[in-house]
Amino acid sequence: MKAYSMDLRVRVLADCDAGLGTTPVASAYRVSSAWVRRLKQRRRETGEIAPRPRGGGAHQRKIDHERLKAAVADQPDATLVELRQHLGVNCSLSAICKVLKQLKLTYKKRRFAPRSRIVPT
C-alpha cells in the first residue's frame, strides 16, 4: 500500500481549514477519519504533512554472518547463548536463530553424540 499523495494531503487540509469537519472531509476524499485526524495532528505538532519514510530494509546488522559461520564451524554443538557470547553481540537469541536459518546452519548437531539405541534420531 502506497502513502497518500501530497496533492491529496493538501486538499484534505484545505477543506479542514475551510471549516468542514473531519468525518465529511474523510467521506469526500474516501479516506478514514482517523487518517484525517492524524494528518491534522501531525501538522499541528511538527508542521509537516509529507508521508513518513517507510520500510526498514537498510538497517544495520548486529550479527556478522561470516563470524557466525566460523563460530558454528569451531563449535558445532554450541547453544544460542554460547554463540551470542562467542560473537560478543547484544542481540536476542531469536535473532541468532533467524540468521542461522538464513545461512541454513543448524546448532546442536546430533552426529557428534553417540547414537541412541532405544529411539532412532
Our CA dihedral for 96, 101, 102, 107, rounded to 10 degrees, sits at: 70
> What's the mean pLDDT when you consider all of the chain?
86
In the predicted model, is pLDDT for residue 112 greater than 70?
Answer: no
Q: Using alpha carbons only, give the angle 28, 33, 36 rounded to the nearest 5 degrees.
A: 85
Domain of 73 in residue numbering reads as: 65-112
Q: Is residue 118 part of a domain?
A: no
- Domain assignment of residue 11, yes or no: yes
Spatial contact of 84 and 99, defined as CB atoms under 8 Å apart: no
What percentage of the chain exceeds 70 in pLDDT? 84
Please report whether residue 119 resides in a domain.
no
Q: Tell me the mean pLDDT in the region 71-81.
A: 87
Whether residue 69 is contained in a domain is answered as yes
Domain count, the chain: 2
pLDDT category at 24 given cuts 50, 70, 90 is: very high
pTM of structure: 0.49
Same domain, 108 and 71: yes
Same domain, 76 and 108: yes
Q: Are residues 71 and 108 in the same domain?
A: yes
CB 49 within 8 A of CB 8: no
Kindly state the cell numbers that stand for 55: 520500510
Q: How far apart are CA 7 and CA 31, in angstroms?
A: 14
Give me the count of residues in the chain.
121
Q: What angle do CA 96, 102, 106 make, to 5 degrees?
A: 65
> Are 39 and 70 members of one domain?
no
